[in-house]
C-alpha cells in the first residue's frame, strides 16, 4: 500500500462474504496472528480487508491488530446476520446504528444484560457520518428500497436457530434489527481506540428453526457478497 492517506479497514468473518472484494485487492505479506489480509485501493481509496474468523474474540483480535498495524482512519464491518422475524426472505440490508453484546451479563454488578460496568454503557453507537453515508450508498445499490433497515446489531457467541431464543432476546433488546457474532466486539475495540466505525449486515436467515447452513453460505457467496461490494463501492464515492 503506497498511499500516504490512512486506509479504511473492512472486516468480515466469512470468506464467502468478501470473495468479490478480495478479488480486487492484493494479499498482504505482513505477518498477522492467523488472519488473512488483503491491501490495495478501491475507488481510489486505500483499503485493508481483514478476514477475522467467527465470534467476538476473533473479531476483537482482528480489529485491534488492524488498529495497531494499519492505523485506519475508519473501520467498517460487513457480514451476514440472522433476522428478527420468521417467514421473511433473506436479503434485508441492515445499516447498523449501534451494537450490543446480548449475551454479556455482569449482573448483579451491572444493572442489566448487555451493560458493561467498566465502560458504563451497553450499546456502542456507529459513527453518525459513516452511518448516513452507508444508508445513502445502500439506497443507490439495492433494487428494492423496502429491504433497507437501520437498527441495533445484537451480537453474541452463538448462531441463533431458535424462535424462542430469538424472541426472548428481542424482548430484552427491542431495538434489535439483526443477530450476528462480531459487530459489538469490533465496535468496542474501535471505540476504545477512538476510531469511527460503521457496519452493514445482510440477513441470511430468520434466526429460527428453519436455519440451513448450506443455504446461508450459498447466499453469502452469491447475492450478499456481490451486494456488499456494490454498497462499499458506492460508499467510497462519498468519503
% pLDDT > 70, the chain: 99
Residues 225, 20 contacting (CB under 8 angstroms): yes
Tens digit of pLDDT for each residue in 4-26?
A: 799 999 999 999 999 999 999 99
Prior bond of 108 cis (ω within 30°): yes
pLDDT above 60 (res 100): yes
pLDDT above 90 (res 1): no
Three-class HEC string of 169-225: HHHHCCCEEEEECCHHHHHHHHHHCCCCEEEEEEEEECCCCCCCHHHHHHHHHHHHH
Query: In what helix (H) or strand (E) does residue 78 lie, and over which residues does it extend?
Result: strand 74-82
- The span from the CA of 91 to the CA of 233, in Å, is 19
Exposed / middle / buried, residue 18 (Cβ in 10 Å: 0-12, 13-18, 19+) = buried
Specify the pLDDT at position 4: 77
Question: What is the grid cell recorded at 20?
Answer: 468479490
Tens digit of pLDDT for each residue in 126-138?
A: 999 999 999 999 9
Question: What is the grid cell recorded at 76?
Answer: 467498517
Specify the pLDDT at position 123: 97
Three-class HEC string of 58-74: HHHHHHHHHHHHHCCCE
What's the average model confidence in pLDDT over 76-100? Answer: 97
- The span from the CA of 57 to the CA of 69, in Å, is 18
Q: How many CB atoms within 10 Å of residue 54?
A: 15
Work out the pLDDT band at 3, boundaries 50, 70, 90. Answer: low
Specify the pLDDT at position 2: 53
pTM (2 d.p.): 0.96
Work out the pLDDT band at 93, boundaries 50, 70, 90. Answer: very high
3-class DSSP assignment, residue 98:
strand
Residues in the chain: 239
**Cα–chain-centroid distance for residue 69?**
20
- The span from the CA of 24 to the CA of 42, in Å, is 8
Tens digit of pLDDT for each residue in 130-188?
A: 999 999 999 999 999 999 999 999 999 999 999 999 999 999 999 999 999 999 999 99
Residues 98, 153 contacting (CB under 8 angstroms): yes
Tens digit of pLDDT for each residue in 37-57?
A: 999 999 999 999 999 999 999
Amino acid at each position: 500500500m503506497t498511499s500516504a492517506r490512512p486506509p479504511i479497514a473492512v472486516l468480515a468473518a466469512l470468506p464467502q462474504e468478501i470473495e468479490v472484494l478480495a478479488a480486487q485487492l492484493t494479499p498482504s505479506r505482513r505477518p498477522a496472528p492467523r488472519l488473512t489480509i488483503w491491501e490495495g485501493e478501491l475507488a481510489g481509496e486505500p483499503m485493508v480487508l481483514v478476514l477475522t474468523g467467527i465470534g467476538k474474540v476473533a473479531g476483537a483480535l482482528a480489529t485491534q491488530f488492524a488498529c495497531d498495524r494499519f492505523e485506519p482512519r475508519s473501520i467498517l464491518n460487513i457480514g451476514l446476520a440472522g433476522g428478527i422475524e420468521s417467514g421473511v426472505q433473506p436479503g434485508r440490508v441492515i445499516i447498523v446504528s449501534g451494537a450490543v453484546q446480548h449475551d454479556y451479563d455482569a449482573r448483579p454488578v451491572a444493572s442489566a444484560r448487555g451493560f458493561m460496568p467498566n465502560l458504563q454503557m451497553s450499546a456502542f453507537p456507529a459513527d453518525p457520518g459513516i452511518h448516513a453515508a452507508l444508508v445513502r450508498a445502500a439506497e443507490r445499490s439495492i433494487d428494492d428500497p423496502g429491504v433497507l433497515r437501520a437498527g441495533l446489531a445484537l451480537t453474541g457467541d452463538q448462531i441463533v436457530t431458535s424462535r424462542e431464543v430469538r424472541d426472548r432476546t428481542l424482548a430484552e433488546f427491542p431495538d434489535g434489527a439483526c443477530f450476528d457474532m462480531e459487530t459489538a466486539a469490533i465496535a468496542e475495540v474501535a471505540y476504545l481506540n477512538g476510531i469511527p466505525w460503521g457496519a452493514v449486515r445482510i440477513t441470511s436467515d430468520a434466526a429460527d428453526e428453519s436455519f440451513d447452513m448450506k443455504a446461508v453460505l450459498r447466499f453469502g457467496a452469491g447475492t450478499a457478497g456481490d451486494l456488499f461490494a456494490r454498497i462499499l463501492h458506492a460508499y467510497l464515492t462519498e468519503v
